[in-house]
Amino acid sequence: MTKSEKIRELSKQGKTVEEIHSVVGGSVSYIYKIRSETGKKDQGVFETALQRKIKKLSRSYTVSEIAEKVGCSRQYVHKVVKNQNHKILPFIEKYSEQDEYYTPLYAIIPIEKYLKRHSVIWCPFDTEESLFVRYFRMMGHSVSFSHIDLGQDFFEAEPPICDYIISNPPYSKKTEVFERLNELGLPYAMLVGSAGLFAAKARFDVFKDGIEQMNFSSRVGYMTDYGSGEIQAHPPFESCYICKGVLPSQLVFEELDKTKITL
């Protein structure tokens, strides 16, 4: 039985979120989401207690630290503390919900095979949970990561010495990301939505000196929670990698094995 099936089953038996969490563990917000699909809308005392805990922790910890401490997603922490006036705010200002989509393994495998063996990679929009970080390490690469929730802003960061910069960047800052990558002048591969990618004048200017593109056999779905191991978002557009100095030709086509979601 998958995790979501187990949550549905326990919800139908009338178990509270707290009771389900004690059985299946993992992310509390994910349990709420699946449980509400079964028509159980009552949030119960647990959420209030959890929210209180998150608000208290947010006076002294970052989003990632809080999520780890209470066992919920970073997205949920953001939701709870959004309107509060304290230390977490500098990170929140840079947060956009449409950016919180996480890449499944099957969309990372196709780019890895084009990398030099034992290369040094910087994943600048990633935490330790990211499958880019985990899979590249598993394949013998040396990987460093950084993320806005850890107080590391890609646009201000000095890149570490590396062979490649690889990630799925925030969609809301696509043009700025490619402008900054051009300035840095290092080989890169960025997984982005291809709809309208070449329509903007600003991006024409950053791409015109030469890029490579990897297209897939089908659409990439994304996770909204690393812990779930399931695809929760199915965007109505194709994704592709836009690369520089990574692929052997300007256009590459790759099959996706959608059974491989997580490690």
* Residue 91-110 contact track with ligand SAM, rule CB under 6 A, x = bound: ---xx---xxxxx-------
Q: Is 130 among the residues that bind ligand SAM (CB under 6 A)? A: yes
Q: Could you give the residue ranges of the DSSP H alpha helices within the chain? A: 3-12, 17-24, 28-37, 44-57, 63-70, 74-81, 89-93, 109-112, 131-138, 174-184, 201-207
Q: How many angstroms separate the CA atoms of 92 and 81, rounded?
A: 9
Torsion from C-alpha of 68, 224, 174, 128, nearest 10 degrees:
30
* Residue 56-95 contact track with ligand SAM, rule CB under 6 A, x = bound: --------------------------------------xx
Residue 206 near residue 175 (C-beta atoms within 8 A): yes
Residue type, 186: L
Q: How many angstroms separate the CA atoms of 36 and 5, rounded?
A: 13
Contact with ligand SAM (CB under 6 A): which of 147, 174, 180, 244?
A: 147
CB of 214 to ligand SAM, least distance (A): 15
Q: Which of 155/253 has CB closer to ligand SAM?
A: 155
Q: Is 168 among the residues that bind ligand SAM (CB under 6 A)? A: yes
Q: Which of 11/130 has CB closer to ligand SAM?
A: 130
Q: Which of 163/225 has CB closer to ligand SAM?
A: 225
Contact with ligand SAM (CB under 6 A): which of 155, 198, 204, 253?
A: 155
Strand partners, 141: none
CB of 213 to ligand SAM, least distance (A): 18
